[in-house]
Amino acid sequence: MAAWGDYGSAPAYTGQSYPYVYQESVPYGGGGGYWTGPVGGGGYRPYPPYAYEPTPYGRYRGGEGNAWQRGPADQQYRQQVEQNRFQYQQQLQRNQTTYDQNQARYNQQVQQNQAAYQRQVQENAARYREQVQRNQAIYDQNLARYHQQVQQNDAAWRRQQWEAQQRKLQGQQ
C-alpha cells in the first residue's frame, strides 16, 4: 500500500481553504478511511486507494496534480455558508436600524423632557414672582393700616389729654 509521502508533501494537502478532514477510524469503500465534511476548519489528506474515490464532499482527481474536485455536498455547504453570512448581514442591518430608531426616540424623549422641564421652571418662576408681588401688596396695605391706626390712636390720646386738662382747669375756677 502506498504511503503518505507518495502523494505529495504535507503543505500540498493541509487544505487551509477547505474544511475537510480524512477519517481513518471509519472505513470507506471497504476499509482504511474516508473523506468527511466540514469539521470546523480542519485539514485533509489523501489515503490510498480511497483518496480518489468520490465522497459527498468531493474527491481527488488523479493525474492532475491530485487536485481536489468539489462535490455536491461541498457546494451545498458553501451555499449554506454564504446564506448564513447573508442572513447574518441582514440581521446585523436590522439590529443597527432598530438601534438607530431607539436612539432617535431616546434623543427625542430627552429633548421633550428637557423642554418640559424648562417650561416648568419658567412657570414656577412666574408664579413665584406673582406671589411675591401679592405678598408685598398685602404687606404694604397692612403697614399703611398700621400707621393709620397709630395716628388715630395718638390723636385720640391727645384729645383725651386735652379734655382732661380742660376739665381740671374748669374745676379750679
Over the stretch 125-156, which tens digit does the pLDDT of each residue have?
999 999 999 999 999 999 999 999 999 999 99
What does the pLDDT read at residue 59?
53
Average pLDDT, the chain: 70
Q: Which one, of 18, 28, 118, lies nearest residue 73 by Cα?
A: 18
Domain segments of the chain as ranges: 4-69
DSSP annotation string for 40-63: SS------TTGGGS-BTTEEEETT
What does the pLDDT read at residue 168?
85
Residue 22 in grid coordinates: 480524512
What does the pLDDT read at residue 43?
38
User: Distance from CA of residue 84 to its chain's centroid?
Assistant: 24
Q: Which residue has the cell 471497504?
A: 30
77: confidence class by pLDDT, cuts 50, 70, 90: confident
Encode pLDDT of 29-63 as tens digits.
433 333 443 333 333 444 443 444 445 555 544 44
pTM for the structure as a whole: 0.41
Q: Which one, of 47, 36, 55, 41, lies nearest residue 8 by Cα?
A: 47
What does the pLDDT read at residue 79?
80
What does the pLDDT read at residue 46?
41
Beta-strand (E) ranges in the chain? 21-23, 34-36, 58-61, 67-70
